Amino acid sequence: MFGQILVNGLVLSGSYALVAVGLTLTFGVMRMVNFAEGQSVMIGAFVAYTAVPYLGYVGAIAAAMAVNAVLGVILERTAFRPFRGVELNGLIASMGMSIVLVNVAELVWGTTPRPFETVYNETSINFGTVGISVQRLICVVASAAILLGLWWLVQYTSLGRKFRAVSEDHETAAAMGIDVNQVSRLALVIGSMMAASAGALTGPVNMITPDMGRTEMLNAFAAIILGGFGNVNGTILGALLIGMIQSIGAVYISNAYSTSISFALLVLTLVFFPRGLVPERVDENV
């Protein structure tokens, strides 16, 4: 049974990580929290759901990412660029955007919960007592792959260097001739593409509804903080921890408090590591 619990945890972690990494990237580059990330997940899921009959599953994922890329640009223009420096306003603006997105979705797709069927839901693989459907296996593998890709992008590409430069210090980056606006836009685009993939990958596991994505985002927050805000590797670690703790806690502690459990863990961690497990760089010149 414990093996099964770990597998469940891994699946959870995967989806949390995708959402969390998107958030953390945006935060790192812009010092702003994207409260509409959960809704980006939702939009991604619905777009994929709509596209599956025409493009097949892989194509649908691509379509979802494409649409969300555009969404990312819109978000950057409406809720982020106007508020650079006054991040609380940006946060509330993204909240406003999330209200808009939910209601647009309710108008476009209606509120009836939709089954997002893929061929991979039916078949499942068993390793001894541990079973997992191909769909969820895909979730794990795909999210791992995507995260690896992002990690490589941040570590080794020139864009990644730009990301890191901007997260270190806007002014210096600007002085180095980096177009901060462009980098920020890209961060949001990639962020919401991540969210799209999360939606498209986990969508088939559950019904999809316009109000989905909230719990995912809350847990993603927990993961980010646990890992250390603005830090991709730390965030992935955080997501892994949160997913596992929830899956284990649900069985051995209580299932009525699942979100609380991850946040309790979070607060405990913060008491000892006030800046998360992998703190972001800070210099306080005294």
Partner 1 sequence: MKRRLATLIGALLLAMPSVALAQAGSKGTLKVGVLLPLTGNTAWAGKTNRIAAAIAAEEVNAQDLAGGYKLELAIGDSQCEPRPAHDQAERLIGQEKVQFLIGEFCSSASVAAAQVANDEKIPLLVNISTADQIAGDAGPYVFQSSMQNRYSQQREATLLQKDFKFESVAIIVENNDFGLSFRKNMIDLMQKAGKKVVLDVTQDRNDTNWYATITRIPPAKPDLVIVSISAVQAANFVKQYAEAGITTPLFSDYPPPPRIFERQVGAQAGKIGLVRATFFVKSDTNSPAQKEFVAKLEARVQKELNEAHDVTYWDVASYDAVRLVADAIKRGGPKPEAYLKAMAATNIDLVLGHYEFDDQRGSKPDGLNFVFIRTGPDGSIEVVQ
Partner 2 sequence: MSRKVLLIAVFAVLAALPLSFGTFWINMMITAMIFSLAVFSINFLTGLTGLLSFGQAGFVGIGAYTLGVLAKQGHPPLLAGFYGVLLAMLSGFLLGLPAARLKGHYLAIGTLGFGILIYQLLTNSVDITRGPMGLIGIPTGGIDKQTWYIVMLGVCLIVLAALVYIDRYSSLGVILKMVRHDEIAAQANGINVFAVKLIAFTVSAGFAGLSGALFAAYVRFLTPDLFNEQESFRYMMMAVVGGIGSPLGGFAASLLLTMIPEGLRALGEDNYRLLVYGTMVLFVLWFLPAGIGGLIERQRR
Chain residues in the site for partner 2 (CB under 8 A):
27, 33, 35, 78-79, 82-83, 86, 88-89, 91-93, 95-100, 102-104, 106-107, 218, 221-222, 224-225, 229, 256-257, 259-260, 263-264, 266-267, 270-271, 274-276, 284, 286
In whole angstroms, the minimum distance from the beta carbon of 27 to partner 1 comes to 24
Residue 202 to residues 37, 107, 156, 198, Cα–Cα distance (Å): 15, 23, 29, 6
In whole angstroms, the minimum distance from the beta carbon of 102 to partner 2 comes to 8
Chain residues in the site for partner 1 (CB under 8 A):
1, 4-5, 8, 11-12, 103, 106, 110-115, 121, 124, 126, 131, 133, 135-136, 205-207, 209-212, 214-215, 246-247, 250-251, 254-259
Of residues 78 and 121, the one with the C-beta less far from partner 2? 78
Of residues 57 and 229, the one with the C-beta less far from partner 2? 229
Of residues 102 and 183, the one with the C-beta less far from partner 2? 102
d(CA 169, CA 257): 39
In whole angstroms, the minimum distance from the beta carbon of 228 to partner 1 comes to 25
Of residues 187 and 250, the one with the C-beta less far from partner 1? 250
d(CA 32, CA 11): 28
Rounded to a whole number of angstroms, the distance between the first and last alpha carbons of the chain is: 53
* Contact assessment for residue 121 and residue 135, using Cβ atoms and an 8 Å cutoff: yes
Of residues 233 and 258, the one with the C-beta less far from partner 1? 258
Of residues 132 and 173, the one with the C-beta less far from partner 1? 132
Question: 157 contacts which partner out of partner 2, partner 1, none, CB within 5 to 8 A by kind?
Answer: none
In whole angstroms, the minimum distance from the beta carbon of 184 to partner 2 comes to 17
Question: 12 contacts which partner out of partner 2, partner 1, none, CB within 5 to 8 A by kind?
Answer: partner 1
d(CA 214, CA 173): 34
d(CA 39, CA 46): 11
